[in-house]
Amino acid sequence: MSQVQSARDLDRDLILSADTVVVGSGAGGAVVATERALRGERVVVLEEGPSVSAALLGSMRPSESLRHVWRDGAFTLAIGVGDSPSINVTMGRCIGGSSVLTGAVCFRTPDHVLDHWTSVLKLRDYTERGMDRYFERVEKAIHVEEVPAEMRSRSTQLFALGARRTGLEMQPMRRNTRGCNGCGRCNFGCPHQAKMSVDLSYLPRAMAAGAEVWSHCLVQRVLRKGDRAVGVEGRTLGPDGRPSRRLVVHARRVVLAAGAWHTPLLLRSSGLGRPELVGHRMTLHPGFRVLARFDSPVQGWQGALQSGWVGDLEPQGITLLSLFVPPGVLGSTMPGVGPEHTSNARHIGHLAMFGGILHDEGGGSLYRTPGREPLALYRMAPRDRARIPTLIRALARSFFAAGAREVFLPVLGLRGVDADAFARLDLERIPMNRIECASQHPLGSAQMGAFPEHSVVDPDGKLWGMDSLYIADGSIVPTSLGVNPQLSIMAIATRIADRMR
Amino acid sequence: MVPSRIEVPDQIRPGVGLSASDRRASLALAEALFSTPEGPPPSERLGWLIDDLDHFMAHAGPRARLAYGLCLRAISWIAPLLVGRPGSLAGLDLPLRIEALERFERSPVALAFFGAKTILCILYYEHPEAARAAGVDPSCLRSPR
Ligand SMILES: Cc1cc2nc3c(=O)[nH]c(=O)nc-3n(C[C@H](O)[C@H](O)[C@H](O)COP(=O)(O)OP(=O)(O)OC[C@H]3O[C@@H](n4cnc5c(N)ncnc54)[C@H](O)[C@@H]3O)c2cc1C
Ligand code: SF4
């Protein structure tokens, strides 16, 4: 079968067998499935979400993509515990997983992060040299290229100008695109098949090599015989979206790649892994944005969505990244109600935007609930909390240096502030429950490590103490990265696929 | 011309959307949120918005409905108290409703307001007339070139 098969309308149980069954068709799962299928193995990929074509993505409004392709319509929250902001954590739920929704940004794992993994965490093979070939392989498969400066949106150009005036240097972004026309829709799925998400770059190769890829298949637990994983079971999802027919895949090897939000739930429901480690220490790269109003039109949604970044603040655990959101989302960030809000919203076309993420220590925990989705809590480390004002200042000062009239900060209910008011603002005293924070990068909820006492999987992605059960997704990334993670996840997944026994 | 809705053939059939009381509360919120000095937006536009919100909630799943419902209830119950008028948000006249919501937006529970406001804004500004009023070319981000 060279197409994704849907289990939605099946009127029978779905019972399959394979050499390798992969749970989740996102960045990690698609890579392992393809690598193993290319070796001649019988591979089955099970995905909970639907398959959505580029043409369909192109005909959707952004909010339609949210309701059909994003998990929970993007209403997913990690609740802030203690003095922490609550964080809106978004992810995809479709064939291709979150890779379908990326801004296509590609970073290799930074050297200083790999140094930490090798020297402190003793993950000895994760050196720059050791990982080089895996990165190269993935970059070729997903066509990573540098975004030309002429594709930068005016929003990004303005930020670059201001940043330079404050001593920060914008670097060009690398993205996994081929023939991108800069229409700026990336986060809602690319209608032009220009973003080389895994549903376009990897899964077709897997299917051509004989892999079966199934949508509407919700895996609920791992089947085991003693200390061997022998398959998975769950339910197909019927036309009403509810669990329908029985789903069983018998396999010699099981690969969990349901993402950092769901893989720990599968481990827990299967009684696998150490409970004190599974689902804990999750990092999120908490992200913040600043909007700036200029006198002249910006129309920031025109141009490549993400085209530049600033790494000068990495020693302080901060990476600044270009981004933009559709006009409606911009509208929601305009403070006020009624006439005040609508008058602010009239400036949407004059707004520029830039964001930043924290290279966080992690403090996220996931708990099972009676429903399908986990309860997520996040306790931000004091070190990371202290970095939020630095991040916001860097963004706002750059915009003022480029001539912005006022900035809108990620502080709920705060009106726009001009340069004078900004200078007087005591950012350190703003309560965390007023901070607006988002994450697209849940990682590290079932970490890889060199020692079974401290980690869930070994350096090859194999669950400690179990044969033939692997994890190959964002959950095993052992620390936050400080940069967008898809390339790291895919390179690690390639390595895991290479070393499977 | 209002945007038509896409039905994804491979998608699950919609579940339940908004309850009648959530529709009323959402309408009261949207009317205040998007009113200009001239008054609230045309009723057809608000009607379209609430229908689209209903469709959104029916497709986005139970967690989205739960989260939105909690935000809406927090706003409906707490906002009137902030202007000293216990009762329903819809029961407040428009200027007082706007004031109540402004106070709510600056309160420690502002996140609930942000949750509901975000989805209402995303949908509302997709309406071509609302987009045009905000200076946005309504065709942008819509269809492939
Ligand atoms: C809006 C957005 C923008 C982003 N932009 C970038 C970017 O520009 N650059 C970058 O590097 N990263 C970006 N990311 C992050 C990146 O997409 C993710 O880090 C990466 O895709 C994670 O890979 P994964 O395999 O861990 O999980 P995913 O890609 O999320 O895949 C997991 C899949 O498993 C499925 N699943 C879950 N549970 C089950 C189950 N029980 N049974 C069956 N299937 C299940 C899910 O539906 C999902 O499809 C972005 C993410 C989002 C949401
Ligand atoms: S900007 Fe490029 S990659 Fe993004 S949606 Fe448009 S064509 Fe696709």
What ipTM score was computed for the predicted complex, to two decimals?
A: 0.92
At B71, is the secondary structure helix, strand, or coil? Answer: helix
**Whole-angstrom distance, CA of residue A303 vs CA of residue B129:** 24
Beta bridge partners of A100: none
* Residue in A16, A91, A490 to alter for ligand 1 test, most ligand atoms within 8 A of Cβ: A91
Q: Cα–chain-centroid distance for residue A411?
A: 23
Residue B134's pLDDT band, with cuts at 50, 70 and 90, is: confident
HSE (side-chain half, CA atoms, 13 Å) at A498: 13
Q: How far is the CA of A93 from the centre of ligand 2 (A)?
A: 20
CA dihedral (A118, A124, A129, A133) positive or negative: negative
* Residue in A70, A71, A90, A99 to alter for ligand 1 test, most ligand atoms within 8 A of Cβ: A99
The CATH architecture assigned to A146-187+283-439 reads 2-Layer Sandwich (3.30)
The predicted structure's pLDDT at residue A133: 98
For residue B134, which of A299, A322, A404 has the smallest C-alpha distance?
A299
The predicted structure's pLDDT at residue B144: 39
Q: Cα–chain-centroid distance for residue A1?
A: 29
Find the largest Cα–Cα distance for chain B: 52
The predicted structure's pLDDT at residue B13: 55
Chain A nearest-CA residue for B55 = A67
**Whole-angstrom distance, CA of residue B63 vs CA of residue A52:** 21
Whose alpha carbon is nearest atom 4 of ligand 2?
Answer: A186
Q: How far is the CA of A91 from the centre of ligand 1 (A)?
A: 5
Choose among B60, B107, B122: nearest Cβ to A328: B122
**Whole-angstrom distance, CA of residue A299 vs CA of residue A297:** 6
Q: What's the length of chain B? A: 145
Whether the pLDDT of residue B14 is over 70: the answer is no
Whose alpha carbon is nearest atom 52 of ligand 1?
Answer: A440
Q: Is the minimum distance from the CB of A199 to ligand 1 under 6 angstroms?
A: no
Residue A397's CB is within 10 A of a number of other CB atoms, namely: 22
| CB proximity under 8 Å: B 17-76 to A | 32-37, 52, 55-57, 59-64, 67-68
Q: From the CA of A183, give the closest atom in ligand 2.
A: 6
Q: What's the length of chain A? A: 501
The predicted structure's pLDDT at residue A319: 98
Choose among A68, A184, A342: nearest Cβ to B36: A342
Contacts of A25 in chain B (CB under 8 A): none
Determine which of B103, B107, B119, B145 to mutate to test the interface with A (most A C-beta atoms within 10 Å): B119
Contacts of B56 in chain A (CB under 8 A): 63, 66-67, 73
Report the amino acid identity of residue A193.
Answer: Q
**Contact status of B132 with chain A (Cβ, < 8 Å):** no
> What does DSSP say about strands A14-23 and A243-256: parallel, antiparallel, or unpaired?
parallel
Chain A nearest-CA residue for B38 = A339
Active site residue A441: yes
For residue A123, which of A283, A282, A131 has the smallest C-alpha distance?
A131
Whose alpha carbon is nearest atom 7 of ligand 2?
Answer: A180
Q: CATH topology of A5-70+92-102+128-145+189-280+458-472+481-499 equal to that of A146-187+283-439? A: no
Cα separation values, B67 from A72, A172, A217, B89, B115, Å: 10, 38, 25, 19, 8
Cα separation values, A289 from A28, A357, B28, Å: 28, 9, 29
**Whole-angstrom distance, CA of residue A355 vs CA of residue A105:** 14
Q: Give me the residue spans of the domains in chain A.
A: 5-70+92-102+128-145+189-280+458-472+481-499, 146-187+283-439
**Whole-angstrom distance, CA of residue A378 vs CA of residue A364:** 4
Confidence (pTM): 0.96
- How far from each other are the two terminal CA atoms of chain A, in whole angstroms? 26
Quickly list DSSP for A138-172.
Answer: HHHHHTEEEPPGGGB-HHHHHHHHHHHHTT---EE
Contacts of B3 in chain A (CB under 8 A): 61
Q: What is the pLDDT along chain A (501 residues), one digit of tens a residue?
A: 579 999 998 999 999 999 999 999 999 999 999 999 999 999 999 999 999 999 999 999 999 999 999 999 999 999 999 999 999 999 999 999 999 999 999 999 999 999 999 999 999 999 999 999 999 999 999 999 999 988 899 999 999 999 999 999 999 999 999 999 888 889 999 999 999 999 999 999 999 999 999 999 999 999 999 999 999 999 999 988 889 999 999 999 999 999 999 999 999 999 999 999 999 999 999 999 999 999 999 988 887 778 999 999 999 999 999 998 887 788 888 899 999 999 998 888 899 999 999 999 989 999 999 888 999 999 999 999 999 999 999 999 999 999 999 999 999 989 999 999 999 999 999 999 999 999 999 999 999 999 999 999 999 999 999 999 999 999 999 999 999 999 999 999 999 999 998
For tokens 């689902």, what's the residue? A279
* Residue in A156, A183, A325 to alter for ligand 2 test, most ligand atoms within 8 A of Cβ: A183
Whose alpha carbon is nearest atom 2 of ligand 2?
Answer: A180
The predicted structure's pLDDT at residue A149: 86
Cα separation values, B44 from A277, B47, B50, B136, Å: 53, 5, 10, 20
For residue A419, which of A444, A448, A390, A399 has the smallest C-alpha distance?
A399
Cα separation values, A414 from A335, A366, A421, A499, Å: 7, 31, 12, 52
Given a contact cutoff of 8 angstroms between Cβ atoms, the answer to whether A321 and A356 are in contact is yes
Whether the pLDDT of residue B140 is over 60: the answer is no
Determine which of A51, A53, A61, A213 to mutate to test the interface with B (most B C-beta atoms within 10 Å): A61
Could you report the per-residue pLDDT of B63-97, keeping only the tens digit for each? 999 999 999 999 999 999 999 999 999 999 999 99
Chain B nearest-CA residue for A70 = B60
Decide yes or no: CATH 3.50.50.60 for domain A5-70+92-102+128-145+189-280+458-472+481-499.
yes
**Whole-angstrom distance, CA of residue A170 vs CA of residue A321:** 9
Given a contact cutoff of 8 angstroms between Cβ atoms, the answer to whether A45 and A212 are in contact is yes
Q: Which ligand does the CA of A196 lie closest to?
A: 2
CB spacing of B102 vs A336 below 8 angstroms = yes
The predicted structure's pLDDT at residue B15: 66
